[in-house]
Amino acid sequence: MELLLGGEVSPESEGLVRLGIAHEEQHQELILMDVLHLLAQSPLKPGYDGTLCADIGGKSGHFRLRPGGLVEIGHRGDHFAFDNEGPRHRIWLQPFEISDRLVTNGEWLAFMADDGYNRPDLWLSDGWAQAQSQAWNAPFYWQHDGSAWQEMSLRGFNPIVADSPVTHISFYEADAYARWASARLPTEAEWEAAASDGALDQVADVAWQWTNSAYLPYPGFSPGAGAVGEYNGKFMSGQMVLRGGSSFTPPGHTRSTYRNFFKPEQRWMRSGIRLARDIAPGRYEVDGSDSAFAADVVKGLSARQKTMSPKYFYDGAGSVLFEEICRLDEYYPTRTETDLLTKIARDLAADIPDDAVLVEFGSGASEKTRTLLEAAPQITAYVPIDISEDALRNATLRLKAGYPKLSVTPIVGDFTTEVDLPTALNGRPLVGFFPGSTIGNLTHAEAIAFLRTVRRMLAAGAQLILGADIVKDEATLIAAYDDGAGVTARFNKNLLVRINRELSGNFDIDAFDHLAVWNREHERVEMHLVSRTDQIVTAAGHAFSFKAGERLHTENSHKFTPSSLRRLAEASGWVLENQWISPKPEFGIFKLVVAP
């Protein structure tokens, strides 16, 4: 073997060697399971190694809200995996809840005390038949000594520890327990999505976890030729999938895509339970906006890289703070864009048709709108779209006072999604207005999707006036997002204030620091909130842990060059018809028209 591996090894040979190593690791785990089973048959109940660590118990599990949606599961193909872990594919998940920890011995004792093994209403038909024929009344390695339950492990015969995870149970038992607990077992896709997001504890270090998924090939699966193809494929019948790993599993053997499988009646292996449940109607439905906010907060704070959408900055207080930011000396984008807009307003107005409708995306206080309205009196209707109802209300009142003949129809909503414009505007020329370099807050894919949405909303013949910040020196960029007066820091932290107020959060605002960094590779300024200490916070009925120094990524502000903006427009079905770039610190205003 040393000679074989010492020279050049073909990809095919390397794949077989890695498969052999992984197969041997499976044998190592199975040997420990066999040793335990053998020792359990002895009336002396000898231990294999009394120094082995017991399973870590601790806190009970809590259900974590998972947003569902279109997710990808399966192996990416970037390192070794068994063939049954692919192909990677997409699957739709409804929102669900999943426990962050495994069911404990104490919880299982409560199931037994409620006569769970003798209630056919809890059991699947085949499971009930199996339980009766095998006289099941406890997990596989439990025995009652006349006064209390004991459990056989590799450490020997010991009293049950209530807060340790229950192990060595069959799928049928797990399913019955879940029904008794008014829950269910997760599907393997739900399990993988939650594990990949870092939402689960006790993932691979205690017990393999039963799922509610039959062991079947993924869409597009094709077994290889010969014995390698038989390794997993020929077992894809009559078995259920388990996910995770166990304390018997060699370190590094498993991954979030790993699919173990056993027959539903088997319970000699080290198996446990993680519960899931569907979202009960109304459980998180305070109102439509709160529901979306709660789901996004839970999703963002549950991910390995904690993140939040910058659209949630702009509640009433956030909008006021942003207007204050716009007046700071360090924050050049607003005044630079305003100056540039004032200089070119007549040029822009010259191409705006009579009786035009101005549709502004993310309007905020609508301050820059006035410059365009003054230069283009032929604009007779204005449709501001913004997520902040307070900001819209105030801006509408100010504009109506200044332009009494202007028809103003505000729309409260997420401007990045397609919004139905008032039907009364049908047939009138539409001009989109998207100033402030808000386009920079979106990822490249999101920006393309947004611009395509705008193109559909405004239809053929429309134009879009777009403001975008230009790439420049790092010092100027950082100062704009980390001002000396700390206004931007308060703006960033207001996100936590909003979570506390609207989602019953308990964030200590002073336990987080504002951070702005320039990401040269992606040409963007990033804003983060950095935890000062190890801490656990709650929001939307869930708990989230932060390590000292861990970052919550709250905003990206991409910067552009004229060429990169042109490419973005073309990818979205627009044509860059004209552009104006200010003197330093540079800012750009671009006129886009719908591509023919």
The answer to whether residue 286 sits within a structural domain is no
Q: Is residue 294 part of a domain?
A: no
In a domain, 287, yes or no: no
* pLDDT at residue 596, as a whole number: 82
Quote the pLDDT of residue 228.
64
Specify which of 119-128, 425-434, 455-464 reaches the highest per-range mean pLDDT.
119-128
Tell me the C-alpha to C-alpha distance, in Å, between residue 123 and each of 174, 176, 206, 261, 382: 10, 5, 25, 21, 62
H or E stretch at 272: strand 271-272
Question: What is the CATH classification number for the domain harbouring 453?
Answer: 3.40.50.150
Task: Report d(CA 437, CA 118) in Å as an integer.
Answer: 66
98-107 residue pLDDT tens: 999 999 999 9
Domain that holds residue 364: 317-472+560-594
Instruction: Inform me whether the pLDDT recorded for 20 exceeds 80.
Output: no
Higher-confidence residue of 231 and 17: namely 17
d(CA 40, CA 96): 39
Amino acid at 547: K
Strand partners, 379: 356
- Percentage of the chain beyond pLDDT 90 is 59
Residue-level pLDDT at 227: 64
In 378-443, alpha helices (H): 389-402
Helices (H), 284-363: 288-302, 316-326, 332-350
Flag the least confident range among 371-385, 432-446, 536-550.
Answer: 536-550
pLDDT at res. 483: 96
Give the residue among 409, 130, 454, 457 at the shortest CA–CA distance from 263: 130
pLDDT confidence of residue 502: 92
- The confidence score (pLDDT) of residue 288 equals 41
Q: What's the chain's average pLDDT? A: 89
Give the pLDDT band (50/70/90) at residue 280: low
Q: pLDDT tens, 419-434? A: 888 877 788 999 999 9
In this predicted structure, which of 41-45, 134-138, 520-524 has the lowest mean pLDDT? Answer: 41-45
Residues 432 and 508 in one domain: no
User: pLDDT value at position 285?
Assistant: 43
Check whether residue 217 and residue 108 sit in a common domain: yes
- Least confident range from 58-72, 218-232, 358-372, 377-391: namely 218-232
Beta partners for 383?
A: 359
Name residues whose C-beta falls within 8 Å of residue 376's C-beta, 6 or more positions apart in sequence.
345, 348, 349, 352, 356
What's the CATH code of the domain at 214?
3.90.1580
- Give residue for tokens 């198996």: 271
What is the distance between the alpha carbons of residues 487 and 493, in angstroms, rounded to a whole number?
10
Comparing 247 with 185, which gets the higher pLDDT?
A: 185
pLDDT at 514 over 60: yes
**How confident is the model at residue 551, as a pLDDT?**
97
Angle subtended by helix axes 125-133 and 171-180, to nearest 10: 120
More confident residue, 65 or 75: 75
Domain co-membership, 349 together with 494? no
Mean pLDDT, to the nearest integer, of 304-330? 91
How many separate domains does the chain show? 3
If you average pLDDT over residues 487-502, what whole number do you get? 97
Provide the pLDDT for residue 284.
47
pLDDT of 281 over the 70 cut: no
Residues 403, 504, single domain; the answer is no
Q: In sequence order, what DSSP letters do the residues of 431-475 get, joined into one string? A: EEEE-TTGGGGS-HHHHHHHHHHHHHHH-TT-EEEEEEEB---HH
Q: Residue 394: its pLDDT value, please? A: 80
Containing 591, the helix (H) or strand (E) segment is strand 587-594
**504 in the same domain as 443:** no
Q: Mind listing the pLDDT tens digit for each residue in 336-384? A: 999 999 999 999 999 999 999 999 998 666 678 999 999 999 999 999 9
One domain, residues 258 and 271: yes
Higher pLDDT, 409 or 340: 340
CA-CA distance, 305 to 516, in Å (whole number)?
16
Tell me if 130 sits within 8 A of 265, measured CB to CB: yes
Cα–Cα dist 449/403, whole Å: 33
Mean pLDDT across the stretch 555-575?
96
Q: What is the pLDDT of residue 408?
A: 86
Query: Is residue 385 located within the same domain as residue 517?
Result: no
What is the reported pLDDT for 80?
83
Of the listed ranges 18-27, 121-130, 136-145, 348-357, the least confidently predicted one is: 18-27
- pLDDT score, position 214: 95
Place of tokens 């910058």: 310
Q: Is residue 295 part of a domain?
A: no
Which of 215-224, 256-265, 507-516 has the least mean pLDDT? 215-224
Do both 168 and 226 map to the same domain? yes
Q: How far apart are CA 347 and CA 366, in angstroms?
A: 20
> Within this chain, do residues 479 and 584 fall inside the same structural domain, yes or no?
no
Q: Is the pLDDT of residue 287 over 80?
A: no
**Which has more confidence, 69 or 40?**
40
- Are 491 and 326 in contact by the 8 Å Cβ rule? The answer is no
Residues 72, 88: contact at Cβ < 8 Å?
yes
Question: Averaged over 245-263, what is the pLDDT?
Answer: 92
304 and 222 part of one domain: no
Encode pLDDT of 162-198 as tens digits: 999 999 999 999 999 999 999 999 999 999 999 987 8
Number of residues in the chain? 596
Is residue 501 over pLDDT 50?
Answer: yes
Are residues 256 and 350 both part of a single domain?
no
Take residue 216 and report the two structure tokens written for it: 């079947």
Tokens of 123: 């059991």
**Mean pLDDT on 248-275:** 94
Same domain, 368 and 488: no
Residue-level pLDDT at 137: 97
Please compute the mean of the pLDDT values over residues 204-219 and round it to a whole number: 94
Contact 399, 374 (CB under 8 A): no
Cβ–Cβ under 8 Å, residues 366 and 395: yes
Count Cβ neighbours within 10 Å for each residue of 434-452 and write b for 16 or more, e otherwise. bbbbbbbbbeeeebbebbe
Is there a domain that residue 128 lies in? yes
288 occurs within a structural domain: no
- Does some domain include residue 78? yes
Main-chain dihedrals φ then ψ at residue 184, nearest 5 degrees: -155, 175
Res 582: pLDDT: 96
In a domain, 86, yes or no: yes
Longest dimension (CA), the chain: 96
At residue 559 the predicted structure's pLDDT band, cuts being 50, 70 and 90, is: very high
